[in-house]
Each structure stands twice: as C-alpha cells, then as structure tokens.
Amino acid sequence: MSNKLNIDGIMLFEQPFARVPFENYRKVFRTSQKNIEKEFGPIQIAANELTKQAQTGFASSEETVTSIDNMINRIENLKRRLAELQTVSGTPTLAVMKERLQHLATVEALQSESDPDFARWADTRLERWLVDWSLRNGKEGTARQIAQERGIEQLVDIELFSDIRRIEDALNRRSCTEALAWCSENKAALRKAKNPLEFDLRFQEFIELARERRLLDAIAYQKKYLVQWQDTHMPQIHQASALLAFPPYTTCGQYKVHLKKSSVPGSLSYIRLTPFVWQRLYDPSRWKTLAESFRLAIYNLSTLPTEPLLHLAMYAGLASLKLPACYDEHTKNVDCPVCDADLGLLAKEVPLSHHVNSTIVCGITGKIMDEDNSPMAFPGGGNVYSKEALEEMAAKNHGKVWLKKLEVSRGEDSTFTEQFLSNDDLRPVPPEKRTWKIWNFVAFWVADSFNINTWMIVSSMVQLGLSWWQAWICVWIGYGIVAPFIVLNARPGAIFHVTFPVVARTSFGVYGSLWCVFNRGAMACIWYGVQASIGGSCVLVMLRAMWPSVNNIPNSMPASSGTNTRDFMCFFLFWLISLPAIWFPIHKIRHLFTLKAIVVPIAGITFFVWCIVKAHGVGPIVRQPATIHDSTLGWAMVSSLMSCISNMATLVTNAPDFASRAAYPEAAVIPQLVSVPLGFSLVSFIGIIVSSSSQTIYGEAIWSPIDLLGKFLDNNPSHATRFGVWFISASFIIAQVGSPITSLRH
C-alpha cells in the first residue's frame, strides 16, 4: 500500500493555522493613530502660532528657533514611539507568521509518511491540536504549559483565546463592556459580515436597565444606541419599548400595547406582547446566548472553525473507516476504532465512508488483507480469510484448518476453560441491548398468545366432556397459575441481565447446567417442528386463496412418507419464511412481536366476527352442557389445568432470556403477570366461539382455524372471501413465525 503524503488533505486542516493574525495589526494601527493624533495636534497648533508671529514680526529669531526645536523634539518622540510600537507588537506578529509558514513549508518538502521528519511534524501538529482543544475548553494553564514545554508558543493562538475567555467571563458576569469594546475595535469587519452582535449587546444592556426599572436611563440609552438600528431591527426595538411598561415580575395574559401611528409608511400602529415574549427577553439565559454569539463572531472574523481541530481530525479519521459492518455484532473488527464502544459513539454522527477500492478484512484475525497478506477462500462457503491466519491455524492444528463458523467470538489469549466459564453469550447483556420496556413485554405475550395452538387448546377440554365455560375457567386458572412462575424465573434476568444458561448454573452447577441447555435445545427443535407443520398448513391456505390450482399439485412422494408434495412444499416455504426472524438478535426481534401483536389480533377478531355473522349467532357449543360429573369432572379439570401449565413449560424455562433485555427490572413484572392469563384466555374464547359457529355453518365443530378457512375456500368462493382468507392465513403465518422464537432464542 502507498505511503505517499497527501499534501492536499493535510492542508485542508491547516487553513485556520495559516491565517494572518490581523488582530495584532489592528491594535498597532489604532495605537499608532492615537499617538499621531495626540502628538500632531500640539505640533500643528505651535506651527500655526509660529506662522502668525513670523507674519506680524512679533517673534524674535531666538523664539522662532526654540519653537521649531520643540516641534522637532515632538516629532522625534512620535517617531520613537511608533518604532517601539512596531517592535513590541508588529515584529512579534511578523515572527509568528514566519514561524507558521516555515512549519507548513516543512511538510510540503516531505515525500513519504515513513520519513522521520514527518513523524516529528505530525507530533507537533498533534500538540498544536491539544493546545487548541485545551484553550477552547477553558484549560488555559494546561495549554500554556504544553506550548512552553514543546516550544510551540508561536504556532498556537493562546492570546486570542485568552481574550475570548476574558470577554466571555465578563458576559457570564452580565457585563457587556468588554464585548462592546471588542465590537468597537472590529466595527468595520462586523458590518461587512452583517453580524448583529453589537445590536444584541446594546439590546441586552437596555433590557438590564428595564429590569432594574431605571426607566429614564433606559429611554436615554435607547435614543442613543438603539434608534440607529431601526432600519434593520425595528421589531426588537418595539419589543424593547414595551418592556418599559412591564417589569420582570409581571404575571399576565396577552397585552396589546398601542403606539401612536407614525408618519413612516409601513410602520406598526401597535405591537402585541405576549407573556412568552417578555419572559423570553427577561430570561437570564440570554447572557449564555450572547456569549455563544460572541464566540461564533470572533471565530468567523478570525477564520477559526467552531469545532476543535482535534475533533475534526478524529471525525475525519472515523468517517474514513465507518462502514455498516461496524454496527453489526457479527461483522465487527477488533482492530477497527469505529467498532470500539466508546469511539463508536463519537463516530455516530459522521457519515459512512465511501471507498473507490474495497478493503478486505480477515474474518478470523480482523486484520486488513493486502498483497503481503493475500486473501484466500474455501469452495462453497464464500467467506474470505487471510493467508497468514490460515497458515497460523494449520500450524496449531497439525496441518488442518478448522473454520468454527458458529463459535462465539473470544479474545486471542483466552483458553478453552476461560471461554467455557465466560463468553459473550454468558456475560450480562450490555446496556445498549437492554431495550425491552413495558409495552414490549405486553406485545410479546399478546403476540405469543395469538397462535393456532392456543386457539385449539379448548377443543381437547370440550372433547373430555367439559362445557365451554368450564374449559374456559381452566384456561384462566391454568395460565393464572403459570404467570407468577414466569415472573419469578424472569427475575434474575431482569435484575442481573443474565440468560437461561447462567441462571441454570446457579441451581445445577457449571457442568450440571449442560443437561438443562441440551434438553431445552432439543425440545425447542421438536417444538419448532410442530409449529412449522401448522405454519405449513397456513401457507397452503394462503396459496389456495391466491391460486386455487395449488390444491391440484400432483403428488410425487410415496404414501409411506406420511405427506404429499403439496404439503411438503408449503412446509418448506414456511421454513424459508422463518429464517429472517431467526437471524435477528433478541434486542431487535421485539419489533417482530410488536408487528404480530398488531396484525394477528386484528385478523383474529375479524375471523371471530366473520364466523358469527356467517352463522347468524354463536352456535350450539355455548349452550352444550358438560357430559361428565362428580370426580370424573374434577379429574378432567385437573388434566385441563395441567395441559395449560405444560403448554407454558418452555416459556417458564427460558423466561430469563427475554427478561435479560429489560430496560429496568419492573418492566418484566406486571406486564407478564397480567398479559399471560388475559391474552391466552381471550384467544381461547375466540377459538370457542369460532368453532361453535362452524357447527352451525357446516354441521360439525371444526376446532382448527386453518381447516375452517380451508372450508371457506371450497365450492368456488367469491373474491371477497378469498381475500379475507388470504389476509387471515397470512396473519396466522406471522403468528406461527413468532411462536417458535420464544423457545429457540436466548
């Protein structure tokens, strides 16, 4: 890679540095002008008197010579003062300019970044930037010490920032004297820049007179200093006049101040002054605004950037490195400053970099690949690794290379034992990922309750012989019992922000917890298979609503497979739909549950109303009594309760996983305690009514909503029916996508 110096890029940062310190020359000019006016006045008077005396003949030759000698002495004295002034102020200014130009000429003569002279020049530049940062942040003593120790007094603007600090301190003490004196010295430059700083200062002095109720002084001050600004600041002058009527302690509604009509065309006949306006004018924070305005004005006149040069350099460096990969947990580079947590915050406001040529980074070491460390790839994977990393890995593994794609990232010096005890998956969730708040937990449980499994859970209870209301009571009690266990098991995650494997270690130990993790993982896979099978049925109904011919796809699979080509295709499609949701980390997946909590309840309620309207009532199931009694009924209800509790066993187990992302511990208590029994009971109730309505429509109770939607598509339905089935089945797909995630992720 080329290490040739980019002189143009360097000089972009040096434009403020190369400025002419004209403020010193202004002082020299003003002082010289005052001295000339002071000395030439008496000389001119003496010369006029001498001329008159010579014309009238009243002066003797001796008196004439004496007068001329006095004038010559005055002129010599003026010449000496001007020379001293040039020596004291002008010559040092020239020396500063010469030193700075020589500093810039040094880097222009260099050719390579590897040149030792460039390293020294860069160190000096960094020291200049540190001094600049210290001066801007009120650390003048530190700045002077750095400049003196490094011998760079003439390369930094200590005196300029000292004046800025002095004037700002005066403004913070509520005094405009120093700032007005500066405005007087720079009147022409401020007028050329159309900067209203002087008016703002005069306006503030008038406000202070009005605040102190020195009304006569305020009126006199307004006539002397504010009237001259009437062409450009008439509204503010009107507001200033209105302040004479309202002391700062006035409490009132809107006031309308009537003024005499002026002969000037277009002038205001009255001004409306609301409490907001006069409170704003009397607000002490205006002094802080004045200090900021002064700083911006002097920066503008001195051609200084508003941000410290050190910040600008860091922004530029971070912007050249900032890529989308820097904000992805899976693609962060350990050697990239932007990927660092602290510097990443500093780089948050800078734009993403644009490179003509891409930079390839090794996925193993995180180092940049170039001609000395060439990239290599394995067939089929598409990932690129550096040659050095693969050679080093082969040397450690007896000539074999193992690409541990799913391995948790770890430090280079960490042993396997250390990684087993602590890694990124076992450490507490970092603060930036604790994003789950109250409504996220509510949305999570509302979304989880709206699934087909919950919809059909009452069917098994009714088939046992329970009436619909007995089954519904079992649902309320069962989920009401399990909700406190979810909250209690989630508590360690909500407080300590640790996940299920860590919580399991507290009860089973480091090695015993492995059984819990493996058991939970295996059951999650089985549960995903069950939910994917139901999700495949949803995909089939949705496709039938779009293209009825899907139902006629020929079967090419044997009968022993237990399925057919059409159903297997829909199962595969649901699996593909699930992949994006599985990819996102938990602190981001909350958005899926929010979407599910909005869309799926709308679809469920729509289905609920549709079936009631179609059946002209709620159907016979709601009037069907229980078919079992006494102890048989009791044990059936116990079995139903256990069915509800067992349905939540996995969610109780992995409660710490989601609670670990809680923004604060209370977010994982009441929302879960209320949402679990309420959400699942309401969904079960919808399932009861829909199934009861289906018995009226088709003569049999259809407990599966997917089967009922399939019935709607039989016998050439209308376009409206097909659209309704498509919307509801698509919503059920979203429901089924979200359900397995609660069991799969941590």
Residue 387 to residue 373: CA distance in whole angstroms? 6
| Mean of the per-residue pLDDT values of the chain | 78
Query: How is residue 71 written in tokens?
Result: 């004038």
613-645 pLDDT, tens digit per residue, is: 887 777 666 677 777 788 888 888 888 888 888
Q: Please write the tens of the pLDDT for every residue from 110-147.
A: 777 777 888 888 888 888 888 888 988 888 889 889 88
Residue 171: pLDDT band by 50, 70, 90 thresholds? very high
Q: How confident is the model at residue 255 (pLDDT cuts 50, 70, 90)?
A: very low
Which residues fall within 8 angstroms of residue 200, CB to CB, at 6 or more apart?
Answer: 290, 293
Q: What is the mean pLDDT of residues 427-441?
A: 83
Q: Whose CA is closest to 743, among 650, 626, 642, 665? A: 650
Residues in the chain: 746
The DSSP-derived string for 26-80 is: HHHHHHHHHHHHHHHHHHHHHHHHHHHHHHHT-S-HHHHHHHHHHHHHHHHHHHH
Rounded Cα distance between 199 and 239, Å, is: 14
Which residue, 662, 650, 661, 660, is CA-closest to 516?
650
> How remote is the C-alpha of 218 from its chain's centroid?
47
Residue 377: which H helix or E strand, with range?
Answer: strand 375-377
Which residue in this structure is represented by tokens 């996102």? 584
pLDDT tier for residue 730 given thresholds of 50, 70 and 90: confident
State percent of the chain over pLDDT 90. 5
Would you say residue 273 has pLDDT above 50? no
Residue 442, φ and ψ in degrees, nearest 5: -60, -50
Look at 699 and 281; give whichever has higher pLDDT. Answer: 281
Q: Is the pLDDT of residue 16 over 80?
A: no
pLDDT of residue 731: 86
Helical (H) or strand (E) element with 376: strand 375-377
